Amino acid sequence: MQQVVRLLGDLGERYGAEHAFYNLRTPADAIKLLSINYPEFKAELITAHEKGIGYRVLQAGVDLNFDELQLPIGQNDLIITPVLVGQDGVGKIFAGIGLIAVSFLLPGAGLFGTVGLFGAGQAAVGVSTIAVLNAAAVGTALSAVGASMILGGVTEMLSPQPDIGVGGFGTRSDLQATRPESVNRGADGQQSYAYLGAQNTVGVGATIPVAYGKVLIGSHVISADVDVADESDPLKRTTRTPGADTVTVQGNKLEFGKLRDDMSTWNSVHFLRDRSNPAFDRFTDPKKDDELTATNTFHLEFGDGLAFDPNHYFVFLEVNKLFELVGETKTDGFISYQIESRRLDTDNIHARIGGTIQGLTTEPYRWFHKFDPNKGSNIDFYNLDIKILDASVASTVTFVIRHGFAPSFS
């Protein structure tokens, strides 16, 4: 049967997060195999208490104790995770050296072997052979070694004493890690993985200066937080910087001189035949379901020159600004619209296009559609209808319509 052992946190990063074994008998066997396959793993467990690190061993969401490490392992994943010693309410915490002791020195004899931890147990009645006595003696010796290692680890966990080394601390650079950058090492020169955060800035055992009075000193950064704020608009008058570069039409960012889906931008326009009346063909404070019919009709003829050619008919649009107000803050606004060509004085629609302009700008924005009105046979005169399908803009926004033939514009 396959059993899966998962290493969490820094253990998983260094030795692999998931390990599959077959026919394990106990959780202690799993720790033993990991120690054999990864000698560095074993070495780390033995010395972890010196850095203030302990370990939890869990299966099916339950913390195991030392005795349970010798019980059958079962089918659920076995999880080993490092924790900072001294945390309350996080389950049973083992010293790493204790896990090694249980795995290598206490096979199949219970936690403390044939003889109890604090005194020898009674021998079986009537058993007095030298072989049995020798076996008991061996079990007693191994159990005593294992127990002393476990208790030694627990003692170190309760009061870890970092090794400052001969000569004590040097300069701040002595504790500076070379990889990753800007991470201080602990008193033993090793990087700390005990604290969560964007980076570990101080290793375990590093000194923290306490200054009294007025002094000019350096420091160790224990914790840092970065809050990015744009102070150019402290009153939050806009949710982002307004401008034409925020505006899209049908999801496209239009550029002057480049047609995209028969659309582009313009600054000024002159029609060969102008049918516009911008003083009347406009929406002020456009709202959903507003509609208008352009003041001037238009005449379509093939063969009568560009001034009547349906292939050279354009609709030019303009907003004087584009935003919505939320309190005093300007945010993105939008207008969804529909343009139709309709046979004069009838309800017969010959062509229809739609669009949505959205963005945040306090300056005028101008764009156009190359619009095919779909001239019918022997039908020459048409109305231009514009309808607001939906809108969310400030009341000061105006939406102006111009239309005509063969425009020249800049």
| Burial class (CB within 10 angstroms; exposed 0-12, middle 13-18, buried 19+) of 21 | middle
pLDDT digits 0-9 by tens, 2-54: 889 999 988 888 899 999 888 888 888 888 889 888 999 888 888 888 888 88
The count of residues in the chain is 410
pLDDT digits 0-9 by tens, 60-112: 888 888 788 888 888 889 999 888 876 544 457 777 777 777 777 654 434 43
Write down the pLDDT at residue 109.
Answer: 39
Write down the pLDDT at residue 285.
Answer: 94
C-alpha 402/C-alpha 271 separation (Å) is: 10
pLDDT exceeds 60 at position 139: no
Write down the pLDDT at residue 340.
Answer: 96
Q: Is the pTM of this model over 0.95?
A: no
**By mean pLDDT, which of 66-75, 155-164, 231-240, 263-272 is the weakest?**
155-164
Specify the residue for token string 């990889």: 179
Q: What DSSP string runs through 277-333? A: -TTTSEEES--TT-EEE-SS-EE--TTS-TTT-GGGEEEEEEES-B-EEETTEEE-E
242 in Cβ contact with 361 (< 8 Å): yes
pLDDT exceeds 50 at position 160: no
How sure is the predictor about 230, in pLDDT bands with cuts at 50, 70 and 90? low
C-alpha 398/C-alpha 291 separation (Å) is: 13
Alpha helix stretches (DSSP H) within 8-52: 9-15, 27-37, 39-47
154 vs 283: which has the higher pLDDT = 283
* Cα Rg, the chain, nearest whole Å: 40
| Burial class (CB within 10 angstroms; exposed 0-12, middle 13-18, buried 19+) of 351 | middle
Report the percent of the chain where pLDDT is more than 70: 69
Write down the pLDDT at residue 392.
Answer: 94
pLDDT digits 0-9 by tens, 345-370: 999 999 999 999 999 999 999 999 99
pLDDT exceeds 50 at position 182: no
Write down the pLDDT at residue 327.
Answer: 87
